[in-house]
Chain A
Amino acid sequence: MSSATASWRTWLTSRSPRSRRQAWLGQAYLGWLSLLRNPVALLGLAIVLLLVLTAIFAPLLATHDPLAQDLAKRLSPPGTAGHWLGTDEFGRDLWSRMVYGARVTLYIVLLVVATAPVFGLAIGTAAGYFGGLVDVVLMRLTDIFLAFPRLILALAFVAALGPGIGNAVLAIALTAWPPYARVARAETLTVRNSDYIAAEQLQGFGAWRIVTGHVMPLCLSSVIVRITLDMAGIILVAAGLGFLGLGAQPPLPEWGLMISSGRKYLFDQWWVATVPGLAIFVVSLGFNLLGDGLRDVLDPRSASR
């Protein structure tokens, strides 16, 4: 058993990998090792994993139906029998709503990750690879979007498209892509003139294949760091839109929305607004810690800054 592990390790840390996959896995393994040496980043990773697991196993973890009302028990304090975190103004169990809220948060996060970085990556690599006029036009566009106030613009978008979780995600994605374009362009510029790209060009490969096959993968690590660091901000903006009543709509157990409804009872039933806020705080903190750690691993230049 241990000899098998040892041979795996040798294979992973080999200085002369035989295949691309071996090289890639080897890099990932080394990154993982240096992440292990960073306890704070591991704490972040644990929190993010906790979010994912909570979202997946929500039906098992929840003690009640998150939408089930029980007006007889409305606004029960934490520690009430059967409701250890208390209940809200409709007597819904706060713990169960918090657990199901992880699903909403994860849904928002995944949707934004699936859109904004992809778009930014496309813009940035295109600008960096083609250069010239394409670069000028695309980067000017990026700068313009970068100079916009994010929350206010998201607010205006949602005002136009109508409140709702899908529109909130769209609004966030529309304002979140420019940093990715910047990062991707910078990375592209560093590899654009390298020999292997020239070799590809000489072999007659098209720009599409070179960019998607050989430029984009090199931008990925920077983009991933950026995504992790951005995630906390995205969660906060989404929660803010929910709080204002422009994101998720009742009775969906979205954390920002839950704080907003708990606001009316703040001074007498403090737990209704406090509990979901703690959830947002812990999850954002997790992403921030993980992002800091990943940056140290994947981008050694900025380590310990």
Chain B
Amino acid sequence: MPSRGGLIGRRARGLAGLAATLAATFLGLLFVTFVIGRVIPIDPVLAIVGERATAEQYAAARHALGLDRSLLVQFGLYLRDVLSGDLGTSTLTAHPVLEDIGRVFPATLELATIATLVGVLLGVPMGVSAAVRQGRLADQAIRLVGLFGYSMPVFWLGLMGLLLFYGDLGWVGGPGRLDTSFQFVFDLDVPRITGAILIDTALAGAWDVFRNALTHIVLPAGVLGYYSLAYVSRMTRSFMLEQLHQEYVTTARVKGMPEWRVVWVHALGNVLVPLITVIALSYAQLLEGSVLTETVFAWPGLGLYITNALFSGDLSAVMGGTIVVGAAFILLNLLSDLLYRLVDPRAR
């Protein structure tokens, strides 16, 4: 039996390794965005001084930007800027990129969070039912639902959803976060506290705006939630199958424990740990998937910000957005890893 000090030492080493991986991954991300920034065929100096500048003016601007230094020094400068929160200024909005992202990111987070809730609340029970009825009709049907999710382009499903539920049936609101008439009320009367429209309107007690916002978020969140559901249900099924074949399940059944308790308490309890990883990963994927969904639904979040910036050649904004999404992605990966260690005694 290892001594207590040894155990703590091992844990600390594990955490230190995790932190090192995190740092290395983030550094790698910054290196890639830096390299991408270098190969861009746009000359940043020329963009500042204009085409009629003299050679001296050009050289001075080049020096001011640090472009006459070695690549390594330039990378160092770039690191310093990014780590101190300076992602440059957007040429499109004339605001610092970080400020812009702070404004649009809550909309994306709100969408991804609701979608994940949909995915988990439906996907986990579906996965469990499929595992219990392995090979039977319900299992096949659930598998098909998942496979469809893996095979449909998200932007197309969004468009089809708009066509059916907004265009034909009129059940949900159209693109955007609000109807135009409510947009004015929202802009004037509702203070921005969290940036999430459902929370802010609820806090302000503006329930008619809240209801309208709800009709607008249902469809994009449902579409994204479907993708989360496809992934979560498939993984839940596979984890559960593994557990249901274990001996403790047989023991519990032999003891006369009710079947629902065996499945939903004992087996599912043991599945929770790997499931957390899956949910965190699915959340990260939804943040990324928002680029396409937000374009389809004109949802004013980070995805739409990045695409708009892309088409107006606003490179700092594109790279800033990439860094933020990448960082969120890496952090979610780390978080799932940490939770895993916390919940699963074997991983300690």
Contact at B291–A266, with CB atoms within 8 Å? no
Contact at B292–A244, with CB atoms within 8 Å? yes
B9 CB–A CB distance under 8 Å? no
- Given contact pairs A144-B25, A289-B147, A157 touches B36 in the complex (Cβ within 8 A): yes
Contact at A240–B292, with CB atoms within 8 Å? yes
- List chain A residues, Cβ under 8 A from B330: 147
Contact at A280–B153, with CB atoms within 8 Å? yes
B152, B288, B321: the one contacting A284 at CB < 8 Å is: B152
Closest Cβ–Cβ distance, residue B105 to chain A (whole Å)? 14
B40, B134, B306: the one contacting A155 at CB < 8 Å is: B306
**CA gap between A82 and B150 in the complex, in Å:** 34
Looking across the interface, which residue of chain B has its beta carbon closest to that of A141?
B28
A166 CB–B CB distance under 8 Å? no
**CA gap between A128 and B181 in the complex, in Å:** 62
A160 CB–B CB distance under 8 Å? yes
- Per-residue contact bits, chain A 16-48, to B (CB 8 Å; 1 contact, 0 not): 000000000000000000000000000000000
- List chain A residues, Cβ under 8 A from B296: 263
Which stretch from B184-192, B262-270, B307-315 is at the chain A interface?
B307-315
- List chain B residues, Cβ under 8 A from A292: 147
B67 CB–A CB distance under 8 Å? no
- Given contact pairs A144-B28, A150-B288, A244-B307, A161 touches B318 in the complex (Cβ within 8 A): no
Measured as residues with beta carbon below 8 angstroms from the partner, the interface class of chain B is 35 or more
Closest Cβ–Cβ distance, residue B295 to chain A (whole Å)? 7
- Per-residue contact bits, chain B 192-220, to A (CB 8 Å; 1 contact, 0 not): 00000000000000000000000000000
- List chain A residues, Cβ under 8 A from B37: 160
- List chain A residues, Cβ under 8 A from B151: 232, 236, 281, 284-285, 288
Contact at A149–B147, with CB atoms within 8 Å? no
B41, B153, B159: the one contacting A240 at CB < 8 Å is: B153
- List chain B residues, Cβ under 8 A from A285: 147-148, 151
Closest Cβ–Cβ distance, residue B145 to chain A (whole Å)? 12
Contact at B288–A149, with CB atoms within 8 Å? yes
- List chain A residues, Cβ under 8 A from B21: 140, 143
B155 CB–A CB distance under 8 Å? yes
- List chain A residues, Cβ under 8 A from B315: 159
Which stretch from B86-94, B112-120, B160-168 is at the chain A interface?
B160-168
A148 CB–B CB distance under 8 Å? yes
B25, B147, B160, B162: the one contacting A288 at CB < 8 Å is: B147
Looking across the interface, which residue of chain A has its beta carbon closest to that of B334?
A147
**CA gap between A171 and B83 in the complex, in Å:** 26
- Per-residue contact bits, chain A 160-188, to B (CB 8 Å; 1 contact, 0 not): 11100000000000000000000000000
B335 CB–A CB distance under 8 Å? no
- Given contact pairs A159-B315, A243-B292, A246-B310, A153 touches B326 in the complex (Cβ within 8 A): yes
A140, A244, A305: the one contacting B295 at CB < 8 Å is: A244
Looking across the interface, which residue of chain B has its beta carbon closest to that of A256?
B153
Residues of A within 8 A of B (CB): 140-141, 143-145, 147-153, 155-157, 159-162, 232-233, 236, 239-240, 243-246, 256, 259, 263, 266-267, 270, 273-274, 277, 280-281, 284-285, 288-289, 292, 304-305
Residues of B within 8 A of A (CB): 21, 24-25, 28-29, 32-33, 36-37, 39-41, 134-135, 147-148, 150-156, 159-160, 162-163, 167, 238, 241, 284-285, 287-289, 291-292, 295-296, 306-307, 310-311, 315, 318-319, 321-322, 325-326, 329-330, 333
7 A-B pairs within 8 Å (CB atoms) are namely A147-B25, A148-B326, A151-B289, A244-B291, A256-B153, A263-B159, A273-B163
- Which 3 pairs between the two chains have the least Cβ-Cβ distance? A277-B156, A144-B28, A284-B151
